[in-house]
Amino acid sequence: SAEELDRRILAAKAALGDRALVLGHYYQRDEVIRYADYVGDSFQLATAAKARTEAEAIIFCGVHFMAETADLLSGPEQAVILPNLAAGCSMADMADIDQVEEAWEQLMEVYGGESEDADGLMPIIPVTYMNSSAALKGFVGRHGGIVCTSSNATTVLHWAFARGRRVLFFPDQHLGRNTAKAMGIGLEQMPMWNPRRPLGGNDAQGLLEAKVVLWHGFCSVHKRFTTAQIDKARAEHPGVRVIVHPECPMPVVDAADESGSTDVIRRAIEGAEEPTTFAIGTEINLVQRLAAAHPQHTIFCLDPVVCPCSTMYRIHPGYLAWVLESLLAGEVVNRITVGQDVAEPARLALERMLSAKP
Ligand code: 13P
Ligand code: SF4
C-alpha cells in the first residue's frame, strides 16, 4: 500500500542519512518528489550531482540521460542509481550514435574536413542538448563541441559560434530552431539533417549556407502543444500569461508570452505578485504541483488531455523503496556507469557547458 511504501522509504532514508542523496526532476510525480532532497531542472540537478560529493550514492529520480550525466559529474567512488532502468527519454533515443557518426562523416565531405579556416573557425561545431546519451556527449566532446540545457542554450550557441561557422544541433529540432531564431538566424539557414537519405538527399549548397543544422529529434510530450490551445486560452482567460517550454514547436513558442526551462517557468510563477492566470505548456506533474503551491493564481496546462512524460512516470515509489533498502543492505542495484572511453570526452563537453559565460 501507499502508506507501507511511505513508511519503508522514510525508514530507509533515515537509516542511510547523508550516505544517500535523492535527486528529483520537476516532472516526477508528487509521490516521488516528496522524498527528494533536491528538486530541480536538468541543469540544476547536474550541478547538484557535481556539488554533493559526500554521499556514497545518488538516487536519481529522473530519466536515464540525467543519471548518466550525474555519473559523469559526481565523484568516482559515488554510485548513481536509476530506480527503474526502463526510465529513458524518447527524444534522447532519437539520436543514435551510429547515425550521428555517419552523418558527421558525410558532413565532413561537404565541409572539407575538420580544420580551421583563415579566421580560425571550424566548419561546424557539434552541440548536444543534455537530453542525449553519454555516447553522444562523448562524440561532441571529441569533436570540439559542447552540451547545453534548455536554460543555457543561447549562451552555448554563442560559445559555439565563437569557434565555428556553423552548429550541428542534437537531438531536439525545436530547441535548436527556437534558440537560433531568437538569435536572429533565419529559418532558411537551419536545414534539418535527414538521416534516412544519403547525402544526395540533403542539399549540399543548403548545408554550406547553413548556420545551424538541426537533428530530427523531438519530445513527444511537448510536440503536442498547439497554437490553437493558446488561442483558446487567450479567448477564455483575457490577460492570461502563456509560458511554454522551448521543446515546443516554433509556432507555439512564438505565440506564447514567454518560454523557458522548467525552472524558468517555476520562477516566473513564483515572481508574480498579483493574482495571475497562467497557461503552461509543459509536463503535467510540474504544472499541477505549481498550481497546488500557488492557490492565489489560476494555473493550468495548455493541453486539456493530461500529458505526463511516460518514461519519467516509470519511477514509482516502489522502485525507490527497493533501491534504498538494497543500499542499506549493502547492495547497489541499478547503478548507471559510463564507460571510461566515453566518459572522458563527455565530461569535457559538460565542463565546457558549466564554464561557458553568458
Ligand atoms: P529542463 O532542462 O527544463 O529540466 O527539461 C528537461 C526535459 O526533459 C524537458 O523535457
Ligand atoms: Fe524526454 Fe520529453 Fe520526457 Fe523530457 S519530457 S524526458 S524530453 S520524453
Report the chain's mean pLDDT, rounded to a whole number: 95
CA 14 – CA 156 distance, rounded (Å)? 40
Given pLDDT bands bounded at 50, 70 and 90, which one contains residue 198? Answer: low
At residue 285, the pLDDT reads 92
- Residue 326, burial from CB neighbour count under 10 angstroms (0-12, 13-18, 19+): middle
Of the listed ligands, the closest to the CA of 45 is 1
DSSP tag of 331: -
Q: Tell me how far the alpha carbon of residue 308 lies from the centroid of ligand 2, in angstroms.
A: 9
Q: Tell me how far the alpha carbon of residue 88 lies from the centroid of ligand 2, in angstroms.
A: 8
At residue 51, the pLDDT reads 85
With a 6 Å cutoff on the Cβ, whether 132 touches ligand 1 is no
Distances from the Cα of 288 to the Cαs of 27, 37, 243, 282, in angstroms? 10, 20, 14, 10
Given pLDDT bands bounded at 50, 70 and 90, which one contains residue 191? Answer: very high
Mean pLDDT of 231-252: 98
Helices (H), the chain: 2-16, 30-33, 42-51, 64-73, 90-93, 97-111, 134-142, 153-161, 173-182, 204-209, 227-236, 250-255, 262-270, 284-293, 317-328, 340-355
Q: Tell me how far the alpha carbon of residue 203 lies from the centroid of ligand 2, in angstroms.
A: 30
CA 241 – CA 8 distance, rounded (Å)? 41
User: Is 262 annotated among the ligand-binding residues?
Assistant: yes
CATH of 222-301 among 3.40.50.10800, 3.30.70.380, 3.40.50.2300, 3.20.20.70 = 3.40.50.10800
CA 33 – CA 3 distance, rounded (Å)? 16
C-alpha cell at position 162: 565563437
The yes-or-no verdict on residue 200 having pLDDT over 60 is no
Which class would CATH give 2-88+311-339?
A: alpha beta
Domain with CATH 3.40.50.10800 in the chain: 2-88+311-339, 92-218, 222-301
Mean pLDDT of 88-112: 95
At residue 196, the pLDDT reads 66
Which of 131, 170, 265, 285 gets mutated to test ligand 2 (max ligand atoms within 8 A of its CB)? Answer: 131
User: Is 246 annotated among the ligand-binding residues?
Assistant: yes
User: Is 131 annotated among the ligand-binding residues?
Assistant: yes
The yes-or-no verdict on residue 194 having pLDDT over 90 is no
Task: Please name the CATH architecture into which domain 92-218 falls.
Answer: 3-Layer(aba) Sandwich (3.40)
Ligand 2 pocket, CB under 6 A: 27, 63, 89-91, 131, 219-221, 283, 309, 311-312
Atom of ligand 1 nearest to the CA of 43: 2
CA 233 – CA 242 distance, rounded (Å)? 8
Helix, strand, or coil (residue 62): coil
CB contact burial 67-81 (16+ within 10 A = b; e otherwise): bbbbbbbbeeebbbb
What is the rounded radius of gyration, in angstroms, for the C-alpha atoms of the chain?
A: 21
User: Is 326 annotated among the ligand-binding residues?
Assistant: no
| Nearest residue by C-alpha to atom 8 in ligand 1 | 131
C-alpha cell at position 257: 508570452
Q: What is the pTM of this model?
A: 0.95
- Alpha carbon of residue 269 to chain centroid: 21
Q: What is the pLDDT of residues 130-154, one digit of tens each?
A: 999 999 999 999 999 999 999 999 9
- Whether residue 52 contacts residue 58, with contact meaning beta carbons closer than 8 Å, is answered with yes
> Comparing 26-35, 157-166, 299-308, which segment has the lowest mean pLDDT?
299-308
| Nearest residue by C-alpha to atom 6 in ligand 2 | 89
- Whether residue 127 contacts residue 145, with contact meaning beta carbons closer than 8 Å, is answered with yes
User: Is 158 annotated among the ligand-binding residues?
Assistant: no
Q: Tell me how far the alpha carbon of residue 61 lies from the centroid of ligand 1, in angstroms.
A: 13
CA 84 – CA 315 distance, rounded (Å)? 6
CA 255 – CA 242 distance, rounded (Å)? 8
The C-alpha cell 493574482 sits at 275
